[in-house]
């Protein structure tokens, strides 16, 4: 994506933007001679020195805009992003409508990976790009093609600023900054292709901050139109289960299970990692659905979901213990006492918060004469 936009920039920028122009230079004056030397110097370091000298001596020159533009571009090419921004800020003060300057400042901000500065210049570049894209079609036929190129470039550049916000969010180590950039993009254009890609970035940022309310707000907003992220679905299912909203908890759990049963392995993920991810997430979803059904006294549905969650929970002993415990209760309430005892014993063998209660349940069942083998009546029939 970056390469695409940079290629467009190199191809059409010369005709697309109102670039700073040097114009006519009178080399017979001291000011003009210095400017003439700078404009003809091919060595970047020497050119920069001459331009910097000019900016210091002739800050009020009518050519100063071109000078700051050249200084900005030279620093940008050299990877001196702070200096490029400094020059760009001076140029922007002189000419706030300079789109090339704003775009270069955005590139410098991206280079230094400063989310606040990216946010600032992405916004300003977008404003200027939108303004350029809205310019009316010229009446003169020979000007129409150049106008089309300017408008097309402006639209692409505006889309690039949305990508820039997304890329900065992905790279930002501070989750608060990721959230700020996500909000800025969503406010700018909620229909942007990058707004959708930003959703899981924002969601995970809230989780990193342990802001469950913010994560749930994000999850519910996303799920209203897009239910293709299993992590968001399972989080929302769990949050709604905690809020006793059984309908949503079951809906999101079952949707996550359905998704994982059909979703292809993402690019760049190994088979083993994808299997582990599918199993772990599916097991959680089955547990959430099963435990919620149990809370509604829908015992058969609870049993079905919990049984389905047992196999994928292998390797996660804590989750397996939870599933075993609730499954033992579900079958117990249906009168399947030998199996309830067996499941309770399996749960009691795992060190977990459910261990003591499962052991107690097993003890009570054994005291009632329940065993995990065939019932006594069946044994007597076999003797006959």
Is 382's pLDDT higher than 80? Answer: no
Planar angle of CA 193, 195, 198, nearest 5 degrees? 115
For residue 62, what is the DSSP state? T
Pair (311, 324) in one structural domain:
no
Domain assignment present for 104? no
Domain assignment present for 105? no
Pair (363, 329) in one structural domain:
yes
Pair (264, 342) in one structural domain:
no
Pair (288, 334) in one structural domain:
no
Q: Tell me which residue range forms the domain holding 269.
A: 227-315
| Domain end point (choices 287, 315, 343) | 315
Give the integer Cα–Cα distance in Å for 26 and 221: 62
Domain assignment present for 308? yes
Pair (301, 327) in one structural domain:
no
Pair (252, 308) in one structural domain:
yes
Q: What values do phi and psi take at 21, rounded to 5?
A: -110, 140
Pair (300, 331) in one structural domain:
no
Distances (CA, A) of 288 to 42, 224, 301, 306, 319: 68, 20, 12, 9, 11
Q: What is the pLDDT of residues 31-41, one digit of tens each?
A: 888 988 888 88
Give the integer Cα–Cα distance in Å for 75 and 80: 5
Pair (303, 240) in one structural domain:
yes
| Domain end point (choices 315, 336, 363) | 315
Q: What is the pLDDT of residues 138-184, one digit of tens each?
A: 989 988 999 999 999 999 999 999 999 999 999 999 999 999 999 99
Mean pLDDT over 51-71 rounds to 92
Pair (302, 280) in one structural domain:
yes
Domain assignment present for 358? yes
Q: What is the pLDDT of residues 98-109, one digit of tens each?
A: 999 999 999 999
Domain assignment present for 176? no
Pair (233, 284) in one structural domain:
yes
Q: What is the pLDDT of residues 182-214, one digit of tens each?
A: 999 999 999 999 999 999 999 999 999 999 999
Domain assignment present for 289? yes
Domain assignment present for 42? no
For the chain, give the number of residues. Answer: 384
Give the integer Cα–Cα distance in Å for 110 and 108: 5
The total number of structural domains that make up the chain? 2
CB atoms within 10 A of CB 359: 15
- Answer yes or no: are the C-beta atoms of 55 and 38 closer than 8 Å: no
- Answer yes or no: are the C-beta atoms of 254 and 223 closer than 8 Å: no
| Domain end point (choices 271, 289, 315) | 315
* pLDDT band for position 354 (cuts 50, 70, 90): very high
């Amino acid at each position: 994506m970056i390469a695409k936009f940079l290629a467009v920039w190199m191809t059409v920028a010369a005709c697309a933007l109102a670039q700073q122009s040097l114009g006519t230079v009178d080399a017979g004056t001291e000011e003009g001679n210095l400017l003439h030397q700078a404009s003809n110097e091919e060595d970047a370091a020497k050119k920069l020195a001459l331009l910097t000298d000019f900016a210091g001596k002739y800050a009020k020159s009518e050519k100063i805009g071109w000078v700051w533009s050249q200084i900005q571009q030279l620093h940008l090419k050299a990877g001196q992003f702070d200096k490029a921004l400094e020059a760009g800020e001076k140029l922007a003060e002189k000419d706030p409508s300079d789109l090339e300057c704003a775009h270069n400042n955005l590139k410098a901000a991206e280079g230094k990976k400063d989310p606040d500065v990216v946010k600032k210049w992405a916004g300003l570049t977008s404003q200027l790009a939108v303004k350029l894209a809205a310019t009316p079609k010229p009446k003169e036929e020979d000007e129409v093609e150049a106008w089309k190129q300017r408008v097309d470039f402006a639209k692409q550049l505006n889309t690039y600023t949305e990508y820039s916000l997304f890329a900065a969010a992905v790279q930002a180590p501070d989750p608060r900054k990721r959230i700020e950039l996500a909000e800025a993009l969503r406010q700018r254009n909620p229909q942007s292709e990058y707004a959708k890609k930003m959703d899981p970035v924002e969601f995970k940022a809230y989780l990193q901050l342990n802001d469950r309310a913010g994560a749930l707000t994000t999850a519910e907003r996303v799920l209203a139109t897009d239910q293709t992220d299993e992590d968001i679905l399972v989080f929302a299912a769990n949050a709604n289960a905690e809020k006793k909203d059984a309908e949503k908890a079951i809906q999101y759990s079952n949707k996550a299970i359905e998704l994982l049963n059909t979703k292809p392995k993402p690019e760049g993920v190994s088979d083993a990692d994808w299997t582990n991810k599918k199993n772990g997430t599916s097991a959680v979803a089955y547990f959430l659905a099963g435990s919620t059904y149990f809370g509604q006294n829908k015992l058969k549905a609870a049993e079905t979901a919990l049984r389905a969650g047992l196999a994928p929970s292998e390797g996660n002993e804590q989750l397996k213990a939870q599933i075993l415990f609730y499954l033992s209760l579900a079958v117990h309430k249906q009168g399947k006492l030998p199996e309830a005892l067996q499941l309770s014993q399996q749960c009691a063998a795992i060190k977990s918060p459910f261990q003591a209660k499962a052991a107690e349940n097993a003890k009570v069942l054994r005291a009632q004469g329940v065993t995990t083998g065939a019932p006594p009546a069946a044994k007597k029939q076999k003797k006959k």
